[in-house]
Structure 1
Amino acid sequence: MGTDPRHLKIAVTREDVLTALGAAHGAQLHSTNDVAWAVVTLVHKVEKVYDGATALTRVKRADFLRLLDAMTADGALVARTGAEWWRSGAPANWARRGGKYYALAEKARAWEEQAAQRRDAALQQRAEEFARGVLAERYPEEFASLVHAYREENGDR
């Protein structure tokens, strides 16, 4: 192996992962390969590493995977499959359904809050449509009168 830099393995630290995911591609999900690529290229500034698979060969793989698992266990990272991310409201429509993806815990919480707000807005809209339908059934004359009055006021002249 010698001292050729291509053969030196990078020992990835917790700070490396947090820095890399904070800097890499904004609000996206990251596969194991993506995290390795971000650490190798963005944090350690290794050049000519064009894909995640190559980047994964540049790190101490077993230690790296243990670190990702430990960071998931302590809550610094959130790891889910592509399908789980999609159900939780994260931008995961491009992710492989069964593939494992990582995100910073703060981003995951933000995505979940945004998804909850979207679900609440959709529920409110369905509730209002339901209420309109029920009111139109129970009070058809008043409903028709209001529709007619609106059309008279706002119609083409």
Structure 2
Amino acid sequence: MSVDVLNETDYRLDEIELVALARYVMGQMRVHPGADLCIRLVDEDAMEVLHVQWMDLPGPTDVMSFPMDELRPGREGMEPEEGVLGDIVLCPSVAAKQATQAGHATEEELLLLTTHGILHLLGYDHAEPEEEREMFELQRQLLLTFLAGRGRPES
């Protein structure tokens, strides 16, 4: 899986961990091993432009997802589709504010938002209460299992 990180901000992050998380989530969701993902970090002004342009909503937001080939999670016994998963755009300064409110580190918020963005790229949504429960529970499980295995050597 190809995961590119384009950091267009002054925020210093552990790109290796962000890529490891993205690959982990994509693997758990049975995304084709040849799929491509781009994670872009932007400042609040750039995020606001995207938020207004694509969602018609004012102000910057934390994460936006732009699917390309509309890939879906792989299923047991079926070959996953090949293609470009898409782009995730993160705003570290918005993530930092949310992290402070939630009582955890900005890096953890960015990992959460990356997981959230990948699920959106795979067709998950949270517009309806049942969809929200399903997506947020899956997001929680993926992030917790990644974080639990973080200190272990690769096998």
More helix by share: 1
Which structure has the greater CA radius of gyration? 1
Higher strand proportion (structure 1 or 2): 2
Q: TM-score, normalised by structure 1?
A: 0.23
| Greater length-normalized contact order (CA 8 Å, ≥ 6 residues apart) | 2
